[in-house]
Structure 1
Amino acid sequence: MFPIVKFMNAVKKTLSARWPALHVVLGNESCDLDSAVSAIVYAFLLHSLQNGEEAVGVVPVLNIPASEYPLKTEVTHWLQKHGILQNSLIFRDEVNLSRLQEGGSLRVTLVDHHVLPPADAYLESSVVGVLDHRPLDPNAPTNERVTMIVEPVGSCCTLVAEQVMAKNPALLDPVTASLLYGTIILDTVNLNPAAKRVTPKDIEVASQLARLMSPPPSSLEVFQELTEAKADVSGLTCDQLLRKDVKVATGGGLCVGVASVPLRVTDFLGRSEGGRYLAEHLATQGYQMLLVLGITITQETVTRDLAVYCPDTHLREQVTSALMEGQGGVLQLAPQECDGVESCVAFRQGNVGASRKVVMPILKAWLATRTS
C-alpha cells in the first residue's frame, strides 16, 4: 500500500484520537479536483513533518457535505483510481470545527483559497497557513502568525508539489506524483498557453512530476481522461449540476451563487424547463441571483459562455453591466439567445482564459458598491 493511501486510511482515527492540537487542511467550498488533491497531499506533507512530543494530528477536510461528493465526478474518479476511497475521506459535515476551536486545539491551513466565507469567519483566529494560486484578495489574512504562500499559477497543486519537493521529496512516489500531475494537467488545459492559465512554474513542476512516474504519462491522455470524467453529467439533474462546482458571493444584502457547469450554458438552459429549475434552485439555496458559467473543451479548444438569472430586473441589469464593463471589459461578452428562459440573460465569452477566478472579483466589486 502506498504511503499516501495508508495515511488517508488512518485520518478518521487521527480525527478521533487525543492530540495536543489538531491541524485541519481545509479545501475550498467548491471541492473541485485542485482543492481536494491540494488538501490531501498538503496534509500528507504536514503529517510527515511531525516529530516527537510536539507532534499534532493532521487531517485533510473536503469542504462539502458527504452527500455532495458523488457530484464531483472528476474528483471521485481520480481519487478512486489512486486508491483513495470515499470512506477514507473526511467531509465538512463530519467534523465539528466550532467545537474544536472552542477547545483551543484547532489549527487551520487553507488551500486553494485564502479568504474565509462569511459562514466560516469564526475560524479566522485558528488559521495558521494559506496556500493558494488566486490573485491576492484585499481581505486576505494579515496576521504575522499566518504563513502565506499565494502565487498566481495555473494550479494550486503546483504550489503543493513545490512545497513537497522542498520539504520532503521522498513523499513523491508514483501515486502521489500522479495525483498532483493529473490535477495540474486538468487545471492548465494540458499546459496549453491558449487557455491562458499555465505559467512556467506549472510546466516545470509537471515535468518534474512526470519524471517520477513509470512509464512517463501522456499528458494528453491524462487530460482527456479527466475532462471526460468531469463532463460525465449524464446522471445529474439541473439542481445537482448547479451544486457540482459552486462558489457563493455575498454583499449589499445579496447572496449570489456562481456555478460552473461542464457544458454550454445554452445547452444547460435547455434542460431547465424554461427556468423552472433555476427558480427552484434560487429558493432552496437562498440566493437572490445565480451566475452560470459554462465551459466545454474539445481537442484542447476551450469555449465559454455565461448566464445571469435574477427575477429582479433592476439587479439583473446592474450586474450584467458590471460583468460587461468590469476590468476594462476583460470577459469580452457578447449577447446570445437565452432559450426562452425568463429573468435570464446569456452571453458568449470571448476571453476563454477568464475563468471564475476573473468573474468573482468583478462580482464582488459590484457587491461592494451596493454595500458602500
Structure 2
Amino acid sequence: MPSRKHCSRKNADQSGMSVSARWPALHVVLGNESCDLDSAVSAIVYAFLLHSLQNGEEAVGVVPVLNIPASEYPLKTEVTHWLQKHGILQNSLIFRDEVNLSRLQDGGSLRVTLVDHHVLPPADAYLESSVVGVLDHRPLDPNAPTNERVTMIVEPVGSCCTLVAEQVMAKNPALLDPVTASLLYGTIILDTVNLNPAAKRVTPKDIEVASQLARLMSPPPSSLEVFQELTEAKADVSGLTCDQLLRKDVKVATGGGLCVGVASVPLRVTDFLGRSEGGRCLAEHLATQGYQMLLVLGITITQETVTRDLAVYCPDTHLREQVTSALVEGQGGVLQLAPQECDGVESCVAFRQGNVGASRKVVMPILKAWLATRTS
C-alpha cells in the first residue's frame, strides 16, 4: 500500500480555503453514510488507486473520506478493529466533519467519487455537480446519475471491495501488497458471510477475486478464521448503549414528507427491545434524529448460520400499519416476514424474517417504493 500520508487528515483542507494553494483541485472518495467496513475500506483503497494513476502535470489531491463524524468512529467496531490491525489508526483518517465539502465546491475545487453507494442522500444533493465517478455493488437506482461525465462502475456483487480489487488488479496491481490484499480480502469475506451461497450474497466474481487476493498473502489466510474474527468484532457491542447501537450502522430514507431511519444492529431485534431502556431509547432516538419512523434490522451469525428479524417503531398508528403492509407484501413478500413478540414496547411491531439473504439492500427499495407513493 502507498504511504498512508496520502490519506492523512493533514492533507484535507478542513476550512476549504487554501486547497488551490496545494493542489488545483481536491478529489474526495466518499463512502456511504453507514460507514460499514465495506464502505470504509473501499474508500481508502480506491483513493490510493486514483492517486497512483494520476498524471503528474494534472495531479490533484485524492483523499478518502469516511462519511461519519469522527466522534462516531468508535461505534464501528469491526471497522476500527480491521483498520487498526492493518496499521491504520483513527488519527490518519479523514471524517466527514473534518473537511468542508460545501466550501470546496463553492470554490470550484472539488471532485467527488462515490463508493459503496451511487445516489446522494438529500442532505448531500448539492454535491451532485461535483460527482465524477461511481463504484458500487447495489442494483442501479432509477435516480442514479446519468451525466456522461460521471464514470459509472455499478455491478451487483457481494462486496464493493470486490469491484475495488478488480479495478486495482486491472489498473495498478503493484498496489496489492499483502496489507492492501488483506484489507480487501477480509471485507469481502465478511460481506459474503464467508463466501457462503446460503446467505445469498456471494457471486462468482466475489469468489474469484477473494481467491486471487488470498494468493497474495503468506501464508494464505483461513477464510473461516477471518470471518469469525470480523464477526466477533462487529458483534462486540457490550459497551454500547441502545442509542449508540441505533447510530452504529444506519441509513436514512426520505419521501412524502417523512424521514425514516433504517438501523442495522448485530443482535436480534427481540434482544435489543428486551433491554431495559429499549422502548424509551426508541422514542428518544426518534426525537433527537428527527425521524417520523424507525426500522431496526437485527442480524446474528453463528457458525455461518444467519438469522434476521425486523421491527418497525412509529408512534403514528396509521403510518406504522401502512409501512408494515408494504414490508410484508413488498416484492411479492420477498422478506418472508412472520409476526413475533416485541416485549410490550409501545408503537412497535416486530417480525421474524424468513429470507435471511435479504439484507438492508432489499429492505431499502421496498421502503423507498412505499415512500414514493405518499404525498407530503
TM bracket (short chain)? over 0.9
Q: Check conservation: 1:11, 1:88, Cα contact below 8 A.
A: no
- Work out the CA distance in 2 between the residues paired with 1:263 and 1:16: 47
Deviations 1:126-175 (A, max 9, x none): 00000000010000000000000000000000000000000000000000
Quote the offset at 1:271 in angstroms. 1.2
Quote the offset at 1:305 in angstroms. 0.1
Distance 1:274 1:74, change over 3 A: closer
Match of 1:204 among 203, 208, 214: 208
Distance 1:97 1:363, change over 3 A: same
Q: Check conservation: 2:189, 2:226, Cα contact below 8 A.
A: yes
Q: Check conservation: 1:190, 1:300, Cα contact below 8 A.
A: yes
Quote the offset at 1:50 in angstroms. 1.4
Distance 1:15 1:159, change over 3 A: farther
- Work out the CA distance in 2 between the residues paired with 1:151 and 1:118: 23
- Work out the CA distance in 1 between the residues paired with 2:50 and 2:93: 17
- Work out the CA distance in 2 between the residues paired with 1:205 and 1:18: 37
Q: How does 1:257-336 map to 2 (within 5 A)?
A: 257-271=261-275, 273=277, 275-336=279-340
- Work out the CA distance in 2 between the residues paired with 1:274 and 1:239: 9
Quote the offset at 1:121 in angstroms. 0.2
Deviations 1:290-326 (A, max 9, x none): 0000000000000000000000000000000000000
Deviations 1:69-97 (A, max 9, x none): 00000000000000000000000000000
Root-mean-square deviation (Å):
1.6
2:236 is equivalent to residue 232 of structure 1 = yes
- Work out the CA distance in 2 between the residues paired with 1:17 and 1:213: 40
Residue 23 of structure 1 aligns to a residue whose secondary structure is strand
What's 1:126 paired with? 130
Quote the offset at 1:115 in angstroms. 0.2
Q: Check conservation: 1:261, 1:294, Cα contact below 8 A.
A: yes
- Work out the CA distance in 2 between the residues paired with 1:147 and 1:40: 18
Q: Check conservation: 1:274, 1:340, Cα contact below 8 A.
A: no
Q: Check conservation: 2:28, 2:110, Cα contact below 8 A.
A: yes
Distance 1:16 1:245, change over 3 A: farther
Quote the offset at 1:253 in angstroms. 0.5
Quote the offset at 1:16 in angstroms. 9.2
- Work out the CA distance in 2 between the residues paired with 1:269 and 1:120: 32
Deviations 1:10-48 (A, max 9, x none): 999997961111100000000000000000000000011
Residue 17 of structure 1 aligns to a residue whose secondary structure is helix
2:57 is equivalent to residue 91 of structure 1 = no
Q: Check conservation: 1:109, 1:129, Cα contact below 8 A.
A: yes
Quote the offset at 1:274 in angstroms. 5.5
Q: Is there any run of 5+ residues in structure 2 with no aligned partner, and where?
A: 1-10
Q: Check conservation: 2:12, 2:94, Cα contact below 8 A.
A: no
- Work out the CA distance in 1 between the residues paired with 2:165 and 2:363: 27
- Work out the CA distance in 1 between the residues paired with 2:222 and 2:91: 30
Q: Check conservation: 1:10, 1:88, Cα contact below 8 A.
A: no
Residue 290 of structure 1 aligns to a residue whose secondary structure is strand
Q: Check conservation: 1:309, 1:344, Cα contact below 8 A.
A: yes
- Work out the CA distance in 2 between the residues paired with 1:244 and 1:261: 7
Runs of 4+ in 1 over 6 A off after TM superposition: 9-17
Identical columns (%): 98
2:143 is equivalent to residue 146 of structure 1 = no
Q: Is there any run of 5+ residues in structure 1 with no aligned partner, and where?
A: 1-8
What's 2:14 paired with? 12
- Work out the CA distance in 1 between the residues paired with 2:35 and 2:21: 26
- Work out the CA distance in 2 between the residues paired with 1:273 and 1:222: 33
More deviation, 52-61/10-19: 10-19
Residue 11 of structure 1 aligns to a residue whose secondary structure is coil
Quote the offset at 1:273 in angstroms. 2.9
Q: Check conservation: 2:301, 2:307, Cα contact below 8 A.
A: yes
Deviations 1:184-206 (A, max 9, x none): 00000000000000000000000
- Work out the CA distance in 1 between the residues paired with 2:157 and 2:191: 10
- Work out the CA distance in 2 between the residues paired with 1:23 and 1:46: 9
Q: Check conservation: 2:242, 2:277, Cα contact below 8 A.
A: no
Distance 1:15 1:302, change over 3 A: farther
Quote the offset at 1:51 in angstroms. 2.4
- Work out the CA distance in 2 between the residues paired with 1:287 and 1:105: 34
Q: Check conservation: 1:74, 1:227, Cα contact below 8 A.
A: yes
Deviations 1:101-141 (A, max 9, x none): 01111000000000000000000000000000001000000
Distance 1:11 1:81, change over 3 A: farther
Q: Check conservation: 2:242, 2:278, Cα contact below 8 A.
A: no
2:41 is equivalent to residue 37 of structure 1 = yes
Deviations 1:48-80 (A, max 9, x none): 111221111100000000000000000000000
